[in-house]
Amino acid sequence: PKPGFSRSPCPALNALANHGYIPRNGTNISFWTLFGAIRHVYNLSFPLAMLLTTVGYITSGTLSLLPAKQSELSHNDTLLTIITRFLPHPSWTLNLASLCITGPYSIAHDASLVHKDVPGSMADPALVAQLLTLAHHKQSSPYNTSLSIPIKSKYRDGLTLCDLGCLHAEREDALPPTHKLNKLHEQVALGECGLAWCVMRTHDEDPEQGTIPVRVLEQWFGEERLPDGWWDVGGGRPVREVGLREAAKRAAEVGLFKDQN
């Protein structure tokens, strides 16, 4: 992005801006523009896309009234059309940088996978490197692997849902007592991990399996762009629509690893 462009702590949204699916400057994004973009690009169901967009705009959006548009009347205009034409109309917009604002009821939270525990939109190179190192040199989990969560994959490198769960648990455990996540931030963090796996995992395996390949991790988390071949047949974009139930299930599975520590 160019200097001065607005960006968020979310690689999914930043990638949309970097590719032009939403305004590239990341400002004044309308509700329906963002809703349509995340649904189309990441193949999310209507309910899931609506939930994510609504939460983002409620916590970080700006609701305003725009002045009425002055235009010439037509003989085909109805009375209702004439009245509404001269009334101000509501506008619900969002700047990506507003998602960096911290607070008990905001979306931004500590214990992110690739962001430091300070307000900001830039991924931390050290944490990205840590993520990629884990993906390259996975070791057996220190947690109970008897859970019904996909752990093994035919791909040697990459991150499974199990890996993301362990990493999230470690990041949250490292927080000082005064910075523990509240219930809202905990659910946001779990949802991010679960949804990242749902969207970015390999889709040629069993639905209960799947790995986020190293190159995808590097391009999405590190470079904040859609992975190579995203729109190709059988490429990175989810083949099946990712629904609300699926996302909630994966978020809950990620949370199981924290409960074991």
Whether 155 has a pLDDT exceeding 60, the answer reads no
For residues 54 and 101, give the distance between their C-alpha atoms in angstroms, rounded to a whole number: 17
Regarding beta strands 62-66 and 29-30, do their DSSP bridges make them parallel or antiparallel, or are they unpaired? unpaired
- Looking at residues 217-231, what average pLDDT do you find? 95
* pLDDT number for residue 50: 97
Q: 85 or 236: whose pLDDT is higher?
A: 236
* pLDDT number for residue 141: 43
pLDDT, tens only, 13-71 = 999 999 999 999 999 999 999 999 999 999 999 999 999 999 999 999 999 877 766 66
Whether 160 has a pLDDT exceeding 70, the answer reads yes
- Looking at residues 205-216, what average pLDDT do you find? 82
- Looking at residues 207-229, what average pLDDT do you find? 91
- Dihedrals φ, ψ of 83, to 5°? -65, -50
- Looking at residues 220-239, what average pLDDT do you find? 92
What does the block give as tokens for 246? 């699926």
In this prediction the pTM is 0.85
Average model confidence (pLDDT) for the chain? 86
- Looking at residues 160-180, what average pLDDT do you find? 92
Whether 198 has a pLDDT exceeding 50, the answer reads yes
* pLDDT number for residue 90: 82
* pLDDT number for residue 69: 65
| Residue 230 Cα distances to 41, 89, 157, 227, 239, angstroms | 9, 37, 19, 6, 11
Whether 145 has a pLDDT exceeding 60, the answer reads no
* pLDDT number for residue 260: 66
* pLDDT number for residue 67: 73
What does the block give as tokens for 146? 């008897």
